[in-house]
Amino acid sequence: MENFVVSARKYRPVTFDTVVGQHSITSTLKNAIQTNHLAQAFLFCGPRGVGKTTCARILAKTINCINRTHKIEPCDTCESCISFNQGQSLNIYELDAASNNSVDDIRNLIDMVRYAPQVGTTKVYIIDEVHMLSQAAFNAFLKTLEEPPKHAIFILATTEKHKILPTILSRCQVFDFNRITADDTAKHLAEIAAKEGITAEPDALHIIAQKADGALRDALSIFDQVVSFSGNNISYEKVIENLNVLDYDYYFGCVNAMLKNDISSLLLTFNEILYKGFDGHNFINGLSNHLRNLLVCKNENTLNLLDVGKNIKEKYKNQSQQCAPLFLLKALEISSTCDLNYKIAKNQRLLVEITLMQLASFSNSSTSVTEEKKNTNYIIPPNNGAENKPLSQSVLESISAEPQNPVRPKETENLVQPLSSVQTKPILTSSFSLKNRTKQTEKKETKPLLVESEKEHVYTLEAFMECWQQIANAYRLKNNISLYSTFTVRKPILHENYLVEIVIDNKVQEEELNAEKIEILNLLRTSLNNYKIQICTTVNKNEKTRKAYTSSDKFKEMATENPLLNTLREQLDLDFNVNTFN
């Protein structure tokens, strides 16, 4: 039986030109060899599987090659190259610092550095996972690393640069290896598939590259796994099945259901995803990433930011044309909120289902391109049919949306018209819904949005007072007696520019009224069909706020009503130091 060699070892790069995705680093090393400007120590750092140890071996092999090519590559024919390929080179020494991290191991290495090479000119010492060395081992290595013999070069490799001592970093030339892009990984996999006689779809290789997350070694391991599963024909469906990855079609279907406001289809799709063993958190994260990709596709300049295959990119582009930017932004906000609350939710499935219902209920058609330009602050346009609807329905529709920021009312400049013309009485019932205010000290996380429009229909004083009384009755039905009293104790004062002044007794009433100010203003505007109405409050300073507590205060209060009590006190010579009037 022939021994199988995994692709990560079989197709490991042996020259600088075959290294994938690290062109800047390989070019620098080749130029340093050509100009004989090699440093005494190098530090290769970066994530796993990006070619750190591979580049260190190629550099060591090229330095000791006797007959280098004009491209500064090893010849593979000289004695040094042959011994290196057979694993018998005496000039290249590799040390795994993960298992040899003590002071004694470093001291043995330092003793070996003293001896000059018998064949060739340079000895190269490759120390992998150098961050695993102990503090004492690092300190013992400092002097040798700073002033090594002329025949010695050190190449250190690590995945955790932050764990290396600054004194070590200052003695090395540092090369930061980048993650390999999905496109470069997919191209490399396609070349290997062609050499192995394997047919592979480009989208399937892109899924493998994305799953590897920038590590080429991981991509080759996944490639071998998929080949074992599907044989010599790698298809997109087989890769999805084998790697247990959510298909793009699920997300495309979910967005199509949102655009059609199809809640049932979304819930059935989510149920199918859970049935196949996927986690709800991964699904909502994938959906957020899908919405982000759709938003990126809105501009041709950002289309290249999509790290997907050509066919999938075209699907994204087509679907993005059906989605308004405001819809995508709102959907991203809703899905991100679900992502944040997922871990703390007791019923996580219900949380995701509620999120999907919200996404399907948010209308995409209500945000056209012209409206987006006009409503950049997400202002809800006024309901043109408010005159034909009950106030309870029209106001609740405007308040039901959750704005990002409350919109401040616009200042009016035109003077109020004479209140002479009679308008049709507002259609308002005392059963309209208001928020429950049983706990007056409770803070509101979101405030209702102020309805804005240019309408300023003239209304009569009778129409205004009728509307005012019905709002007061609605608060009374909601058991908010405090606000009901504020509405009914004094009549509001109407000024020019549709300004309504409300006189109150104290600051407590003012704070309570301000908490409901936007809702009250919305009710007045939509009921009277005048969107320039404003409300201001004034505290009545003339109102008696001090109560009589002492005997003297109580007597003065009674004497004010009956002056004969003063005469009686003088005649009887009464004293108020005792609790006479308690």
Q: What is the CATH number of the domain that holds 233?
A: 1.10.8.60
> Is pLDDT above 50 for 376?
no
34 plus 160 within the same structural domain:
yes
In a domain, 522, yes or no: yes
Last residue of a domain, one of 176, 205, 229: 176
Structural domains counted in the chain: 4
19 plus 165 within the same structural domain:
yes
The pLDDT assigned to 42 comes to 92
3-state secondary structure at position 45: strand
Helix ranges restricted to H, 276-429: 280-296, 310-320, 325-341, 348-361, 369-374, 391-400
The residue with greater pLDDT, 411 or 121, is 121
461 plus 513 within the same structural domain:
yes
The pLDDT assigned to 364 comes to 58
> Is pLDDT above 70 for 371?
no
20 plus 168 within the same structural domain:
yes
pLDDT in tens, 4-41: 788 888 888 888 888 888 888 999 998 998 888 888 89
C-beta of residue 274 within 8 angstroms of C-beta of residue 342: no
Distances (CA, A) of 532 to 28, 104, 145, 378: 69, 85, 78, 19
In a domain, 568, yes or no: no
Distances (CA, A) of 73 to 2, 124, 469: 32, 17, 92
Strands 493-494 and 499-504: antiparallel
Neighbours of 413 (CB within 10 A): 7
pLDDT in tens, 134-181: 888 888 888 888 888 888 899 999 988 888 888 888 888 899 998 888
In a domain, 442, yes or no: yes
3-state secondary structure at position 419: coil
CA 401 to chain centre: 22
> Is pLDDT above 50 for 126?
yes
Mean pLDDT of 495-511: 82
The pLDDT assigned to 542 comes to 60
Enter the pTM of the model. 0.56
Most confident of 193-202, 242-251, 509-518, 537-546: 193-202
254 plus 226 within the same structural domain:
no
In a domain, 559, yes or no: no
State the residue range of the domain holding 430. 389-539
> Is pLDDT above 70 for 132?
yes
440 plus 503 within the same structural domain:
yes
> Is pLDDT above 70 for 409?
no
The pLDDT assigned to 175 comes to 92
188 plus 159 within the same structural domain:
no
In a domain, 383, yes or no: no
Mean pLDDT of 380-385: 40
239 plus 259 within the same structural domain:
no
CATH number at residue 113: 3.40.50.300
The pLDDT assigned to 571 comes to 79
C-beta of residue 120 within 8 angstroms of C-beta of residue 81: no
In a domain, 304, yes or no: yes
In a domain, 508, yes or no: yes
pLDDT in tens, 54-81: 999 999 888 888 888 888 888 888 888 8
Residue 424: which pLDDT band, with cuts at 50, 70 and 90?
very low
Last residue of a domain, one of 129, 144, 176: 176
Question: Which one, of 381, 384, 394, lies nearest residue 429 by Cα?
Answer: 394
82 plus 159 within the same structural domain:
yes
In a domain, 567, yes or no: no
Question: Which one, of 528, 509, 510, lies nearest residue 467 by Cα?
Answer: 528
> Is pLDDT above 50 for 1?
no
Last residue of a domain, one of 225, 243, 261: 243
The pLDDT assigned to 422 comes to 38
Cβ burial, residue 320 (10 Å; 0-12/13-18/19+): buried
130 plus 162 within the same structural domain:
yes
CATH number at residue 342: 1.20.272.10
172 plus 187 within the same structural domain:
no
104 plus 15 within the same structural domain:
yes
Burial string for 496-532 (b: 16+ CB within 10 Å, else e) reads eebebebbbbeeebbebbebbbbbbbbbbbbbbbbbb
3-state secondary structure at position 297: coil
pLDDT in tens, 524-579: 888 888 888 888 888 776 644 455 556 777 777 777 777 778 888 877 777 655 44
> Is pLDDT above 50 for 406?
no
